[in-house]
Amino acid sequence: MGKYFLFKILLPFFLAVAAIAQDVPAPPSSPVTSPALSSTSSPQVTVGDLLAQGLRAYRTGKFDAAVEEYMTVLQQDPKSGEAYAGLTRVYLKQEKVQTAFETASKGVSEVSDSPATHTALGEVYFRQGKMVESEGEFRKGVNTTHPEARAYLGLTRLYDALSLHARARKMLEKAHGLDPADPEIQRHWMGTLSRSERIRVLEEYLSNPTNDEKEDRESLQRHLELLKARVKEPDKTCKLVTKPASIETNLTPIMYNPTHLEGYGLTVKINGQSSRLLLDTGASGLLINRKMAERAGIKQLASTKIGGLGDKGDSEGHLGYADSIKIGGLEFQNCLVDIWEKRSVIGDDGLVGADFFSHYLVTLDFPHEKLSLQELPKRPEETEKTAGLTTNKDEDDEDPAAPPEPHDRYVAPEMKSYTTVWRFGHFLLIPTTVGDVASKLFLIDTGSSRSSLSPEAAKEVRKIQESNAVIRGLSGSVKQVYETKDIALEFGRLRKENPDIKVFDLSKTSKYPGVEVSGILGITALGFTSMRIDYRDGLVDFDYDKSHWRGISLTDFSKGSK
């Protein structure tokens, strides 16, 4: 899966007064100032001063101080939309999502004409995975005489996830123009810069206090080191040196034990050394273990952290260049790979993310154990195409001096029946109905041997009970595992009945996209299908041949079964 996801750089970073009016102290008879600022000889501290101090505290990671300032504002001015919005963002940063929702909702109720409160509520909806509601609130934040920079940022995140990248860039430019000092806007803006500009801006960013979590700041520092290392080797650019229009190669079943399928493996030659890697739509790029790296003679370029499912935390790793990577009829040269310091990894020698082939239409035909790659349909404005490979760190490989021009999603006529997914880096989140409950976002994860639910999602439809099942990932075992019975999952055009499904905390998985991931579609759901993925346009399609799987309770609505 989801067993492996690197904390990539320049990803979205996210950020109530509890419940009701009683939770916000009533305005006092005389103005109240922050105790730390109160003095008989000092001038009166205004609401504007307190809001500025709260914002400064928030942006430098002093969240408790920010809460104090914003609460003091609400004592003086219970109709301050900026204070409600500030509190909401602090609570989101502290992962107090329900409190953030209550605060933003209270703010919209009290100050319904405030763009700030609507924008903050949109940010909460985004974190909850309520994308339609989120867009509606963000639009209220921009369709006003004084638009909110954070509302434009929210639309940036939404449109990027929908593969509307040109539209997202326009929103980001508006956000940056209104508030270039906002840390979240800054981090997104870095992704539009050339390598040399990114180094300069990232150095400046890291020289000041920020509101990043410790591991995120460390990740940014490692990314800076990698950028500097790559400047020293400008010729090391990942390129496809054989360019077939299509290829087909075999997938090999990987068994957890004699009766349980772990997933499907792919034969990959790295510097001439053959390896079997677990094909994983929940992972990114290529990860190999230390033993495989030693066999292939890959030298360390920069350090990194590697993590996934499990409760032990991230592990040490490093990055290095592979001179040659061969998969079927494809050969790539000078590509970065991630190397896990341990000698064993799930999937024999490592993992290969399906986004490795994101410039192709990827078909994973599990019933016939085949991987196929075809050219993507040309956009109407395109004249020629060059297929490529996506490694974990090659976003600016094509031209370090000029990042590629963004494009919006193109749905070719032959793809009209495909399902739109929300794409966050390598994560593909698909709307999934759990029983009769409203649609939620599930991770498409061929690297997970089971489908699973978060406790919150499971409790909406069934009672859960403790399970002795063992769930393992790159970060060890999951300590608390539950299960529930007889739940149907409906995704794309398919409905899969699950006699039992495992339930465990998915908060770490949700942190990567900054959106609530309510479940995982693992190989127990996907392994009966032929799945097509268009990473460029955020589209997937599933085909199910009932004759191939007798007795499997899977319904294909496209064939008139519903």
Q: What is the pLDDT of residues 485-507, one digit of tens each?
A: 888 899 998 988 876 788 988 98
Domain boundary among 311, 338, 358: 358
Q: Is residue 230 part of a domain?
A: no
Residue 270 lies in a domain: yes
Contacts of 433 (CB under 8 A, 6+ apart): 439, 440, 488, 489, 490, 491
pLDDT of residue 18: 34
Q: Are residues 60 and 157 in the same domain?
A: yes
Rg of the chain over Cα atoms, rounded to whole angstroms, equals: 24
Burial of 17 (0-12, 13-18, 19+ CB in 10 A): buried
Residue 170 lies in a domain: yes
Q: Among 476, 430, 142, which Cα is nearest to 281's?
A: 430
pLDDT value, residue 472: 61
Residues 353 and 428 in one domain: no
Among 464, 541, 542, 453, which Cα is nearest to 489's? 453
Q: How many domains does the chain have?
A: 3
Tell whether 235 is covered by a domain.
Answer: no
- 432 shares its domain with 532: yes
Task: Answer whether 139's CB lies under 8 Å from 53's CB.
Answer: no
Residue 341 sits in a domain whose CATH number is 2.40.70.10
**Which residue, among 539, 554, 494, has the nearest Cα to 362 in the 3D structure?**
539
CATH number of residue 138's parent domain: 1.25.40.10
| In-domain check, residue 346 | yes
Domain co-membership, 138 together with 261: no
Residue 17 lies inside a defined structural domain of this protein = no
Q: Give the end of a domain, one of 192, 208, 223.
A: 192
Provide the residue count of the chain.
Answer: 562
Burial 392-403 (b: 16+ CB within 10 A, else e): bbbbbbeebeeb
pLDDT of residue 8: 38
Q: What is the DSSP track for 35-52?
A: TTT--TTSPPPPHHHHHH
Contact 144, 115 (CB under 8 A): yes
**DSSP helix/strand/coil, 428:** strand
93 shares its domain with 181: yes
Residue 550's pLDDT is: 43
Residue 310 backbone phi and psi in degrees, to 5:
120, 165
Instruction: Give kind and range of the element (H or E) at residue 484.
Output: strand 482-491
Contacts of 211 (CB under 8 A, 6+ apart): 58, 59, 60, 61, 63, 93, 183
* Secondary structure of residue 465 in the 3-state scheme: strand
The reply to whether 188 and 260 lie within a common domain is no
108: Cβ contacts below 8 Å, ≥ 6 apart: 114, 117, 118, 121
> Is 28 part of a structural domain of the chain?
no
pLDDT of 43: 63
Residue 327 falls within a domain, yes or no?
A: yes
One digit per residue, the tens of pLDDT, for the chain of length 562 reads 544 443 333 333 333 333 323 343 333 333 334 444 343 445 688 999 999 999 999 999 999 999 999 999 999 999 999 999 999 999 999 999 999 999 999 999 999 999 999 999 999 999 999 999 999 999 999 999 999 999 999 999 999 999 999 999 999 999 999 999 999 999 999 999 999 999 999 999 999 999 999 989 988 998 999 899 888 887 788 888 887 888 999 999 988 777 788 899 999 999 999 999 999 999 888 999 888 999 999 988 877 766 666 555 666 788 889 999 999 889 999 999 998 876 555 557 899 999 999 989 999 999 999 999 999 999 988 765 544 455 544 444 444 555 678 999 999 999 999 999 999 999 999 999 998 888 999 999 999 888 899 999 988 887 777 666 666 655 556 677 778 888 889 999 898 887 678 898 898 899 989 999 999 999 989 998 999 999 999 999 999 876 654 444 555 545 444 3
Q: Report the DSSP beta bridge partners of residue 325.
A: 270, 332
- What value, to the nearest 5°, has the Cα angle with vertex 558 and ends 557 and 560? 70
Contact 487, 500 (CB under 8 A): no
> What pLDDT is recorded for position 342?
63
DSSP secondary structure letter of residue 324: E
* Per-residue confidence (pLDDT) for residue 327, from 0 to 100: 92
The whole-angstrom separation of Cα 461 and Cα 464 is: 9
Which residue segment(s) compose the domain that 122 sits in? Answer: 47-192
